[in-house]
Amino acid sequence: MTIPPAILWFRNDLRLSDHAALRAAMETGRPVLPLFILDDAAAGQWSPGGASRWWLHRSLTALQRSLEQRGSHLTLRRGDSLTIIATLAAGGAEVFTGGSPDPWARRLDKSVSDALPGRVHRMRTATLFHPDSILTKTGGPYSVYTPFANACLALGGPRQPDSAPGTIPAVPARDLATIPSDRLEDWNLLPTKPDWAAGLRETWEPGETGAMDRADSFLTHGLSGYADARDRPAGDGTSMLSPHLHFGEISAAQLWHKALVRPAGKGRDIFIKELLWREFCANLLWHNQGLPESPLKPEFARMPWRDDRPALAAWQKGQTGVPVVDAGMRQLWQTGWMHNRVRMIVASFLIKHLMIPWQDGEAWFWDTLVDADLASNAGNWQWVAGCGADAAPYFRIFNPVLQGEKFDPQGDYVRGFVPELARLDARHIHAPWQAPPDALARAGVTLGKSYPKPIVDLAAGRARALDAYAEIRRNA
Ligand SMILES: Cc1cc2nc3c(=O)[nH]c(=O)nc-3n(C[C@H](O)[C@H](O)[C@H](O)COP(=O)(O)OP(=O)(O)OC[C@H]3O[C@@H](n4cnc5c(N)ncnc54)[C@H](O)[C@@H]3O)c2cc1C
């Protein structure tokens, strides 16, 4: 190559604005070679699941378009990242990339840095702060959310984000012609038969423009009412920005500053604190690399989990007979996303009422969520299971009926995703097995036929879980 380029190795930061690695690559004055590598072998068990692959295809399409509008071109490669980068950098190129707390990504970063000493520049593109910059007074990582969030707030917020460059210096065409690039279509990231992605297509617009549009719309219309609306799964009271944040189509710093120019209020404060939950999870994973697989509280490894495949399958399909659980699991399947309140309810039901390992739920979420994020997924599953660093108390077992009645009082959320119960009145919709026969008949519901009977007795399931948790604590 005539001039060795600055390789811009995109990771979970598929945007052009507020991109520290892009900015640093451009500051070298070299041509910039944007690159994305799909490296399933390096990610292993945590390579993107089905819903994430769908999103990735759409997001890379959007990124390709944005780069081309700026006179640049995205090189796509599938395979071993180290070999690909070492080959591209053989002529003296420098590499600019973002960081990630994911264990496999950190291992990969180290091997690339070792192979190209002094030529790999890792910048922070995914989190608000570097995980090693938020430490307790004794220099250790935080294991409790509130002091962690206070420490972040005391820093006065992240740096001001910058806008996308108007043009990006391209690798000369004759050099680019020598660099192999895959066709995105050949990666087969989209489902074919069966095509389960219709609901995803209706719900989402992946890419930086879609992310900005959603952020602006939420901050304009949703932020002021967020404090009250965010716990109601039937409305659109939350931002639904999580997949855009996970893929880095918008940065947490951009959102933070966009929120801060809005009128002060409870909604704004809570929204910032939610961004800090994301940050906390990333921090937890950075400092506890076993988070996705092993309980942070080791005594929980002795939990007497049940191996109940039929119950797991019923949960996955939204056929447990517990309406709010089924609505959540079907929302997940149809749209690739589930409301946070309902994520907590379905996770608690799986772990506690069914006594199925949290890792099984984590794996299902990994495959089906468009926002599947190793740190947030593992951190939250451990939180619900009570085995995480800053965990829900072990005796907190969500009662799905009471949760449904409190947060979906009219039953609209359940009706939206469980049409079999659509005609059941609000008084009975969260516990149809307690409804009088004439109410069921009027609504056209036959339990065990048109809609399942509950697969577990809620009181007995709760008692069983409490016993098991008490036993773990006794022997801790
Ligand atoms: C069992 C379980 C698994 C989860 N798995 C994931 C996951 O894989 N990926 C993921 O992004 N979130 C996960 N969450 C957290 C949370 O449910 C989602 O971030 C949230 O529902 C996304 O919707 P939103 O963008 O409308 O959130 P908003 O309420 O608009 O919040 C704004 C942003 O704050 C962050 N955030 C909010 N709550 C949390 C939280 N509890 N933990 C971490 N970040 C948070 C998200 O980035 C979110 O986009 C999980 C929660 C549970 C209980």
Half-sphere exposure of 94 (CA within 13 A, CB side): 17
- Ligand 1 atom showing the smallest separation from residue 275 Cα: 34
Q: Indicate the top mutation candidate among 251, 340, 346 to test ligand 1's pocket, ranked by most ligand atoms within 8 A of CB.
A: 340
**Is any atom of ligand 1 closer than 6 Å to the C-beta of 391?**
no
CA of 244 to the centre of ligand 1 (A): 12
The C-alpha atoms of residue 142 and residue 120 are separated, in whole angstroms, by: 29
Give buried/exposed letters for 450-461 (b at 16+ CB in 10 A, else e).
Answer: ebbebbbebeeb
Mean pLDDT of 454-469: 96
The C-alpha atoms of residue 146 and residue 144 are separated, in whole angstroms, by: 6
- Active-site entry in 187, 196, 205, 340: 340
- Active-site entry in 187, 196, 205, 277: 277
Distances (CA, A) of 240 to 27, 244, 281, 359, 371: 34, 8, 18, 24, 9
State the maximum Cα–Cα separation within the chain, in Å, rounded to a whole number. 81
Instruction: Give the model's pLDDT for residue 473.
Output: 82
120-131 residue pLDDT tens: 999 999 999 999
Q: Indicate the top mutation candidate among 255, 256, 278, 351 to test ligand 1's pocket, ranked by most ligand atoms within 8 A of CB.
A: 278
Q: pLDDT grade, residue 192 (50/70/90)?
A: confident
Q: Which H/E stretch holds residue 9?
A: strand 6-10
142-164 residue pLDDT tens: 999 999 999 999 998 899 999 99
The residue nearest atom 45 of ligand 1, judged by CA position, is: 278
Question: Does residue 104 have an active-site annotation?
Answer: no
Contact 285, 102 (CB under 8 A): yes
**Is any atom of ligand 1 closer than 6 Å to the C-beta of 74?**
no
Token pair of 421, please?
A: 């119960």
Q: pLDDT grade, residue 1 (50/70/90)?
A: low
The C-alpha atoms of residue 215 and residue 209 are separated, in whole angstroms, by: 10
Instruction: Pick one of 3.90.1010.10, 1.10.260.40, 2.40.128.130, 1.10.579.10 as the CATH number of 298-474.
Output: 1.10.579.10
DSSP string, 240-253: --HHHHHTTSS-HH
3-39 residue pLDDT tens: 899 999 999 999 999 999 999 999 999 999 999 999 9
The residue nearest atom 29 of ligand 1, judged by CA position, is: 238
Question: Does residue 475 have an active-site annotation?
Answer: no
Strands 94-98 and 75-78: unpaired
Contact 60, 78 (CB under 8 A): no
Fold of the domain spanning 127-160+207-287? 1.25.40
- Ligand 1 atom showing the smallest separation from residue 361 Cα: 1
Sheet of 120-123: strand order equals: 75-78, 32-38, 6-10, 94-98, 120-123
Q: Which of 239, 362, 343 is nearest to 294 (CA)?
A: 362
Q: Indicate the top mutation candidate among 242, 258, 365, 383 to test ligand 1's pocket, ranked by most ligand atoms within 8 A of CB.
A: 242
CA of 91 to the centre of ligand 1 (A): 43
Give me the torsion for CA of 211, 213, 216, 220, rounded to 10°: -130
Q: Indicate the top mutation candidate among 376, 390, 396 to test ligand 1's pocket, ranked by most ligand atoms within 8 A of CB.
A: 376
CA of 6 to the centre of ligand 1 (A): 34
- Active-site entry in 274, 399, 405, 433: 274
279-334 residue pLDDT tens: 999 999 999 999 999 999 999 999 999 999 999 999 999 999 999 999 999 999 99
pTM for this structure?
0.98
Question: Does residue 381 have an active-site annotation?
Answer: yes
CA of 41 to the centre of ligand 1 (A): 27
- Ligand 1 atom showing the smallest separation from residue 339 Cα: 21
The dihedral sign for the CA sequence 341, 49, 245, 120: positive
Contact 292, 312 (CB under 8 A): no
The dihedral sign for the CA sequence 218, 221, 225, 229: negative
Domain segments of the chain as ranges: 1-125, 127-160+207-287, 298-474
75-120 residue pLDDT tens: 999 999 999 999 999 999 999 999 899 999 999 999 999 999 999 9
Average pLDDT, the chain: 96
Q: Does domain 1-125 have CATH number 1.10.580.10?
A: no
Instruction: Give the model's pLDDT for residue 271.
Output: 98
Instruction: Give the model's pLDDT for residue 393.
Output: 76
Q: For tokens 């219309």, name the residue.
A: 221
Give how far the C-alpha of residue 58 lies from the chain's centroid of Cα atoms, to the nearest Å. 16
Contact 54, 200 (CB under 8 A): yes
Question: Does residue 337 have an active-site annotation?
Answer: no
Token pair of 197, please?
A: 């992605």
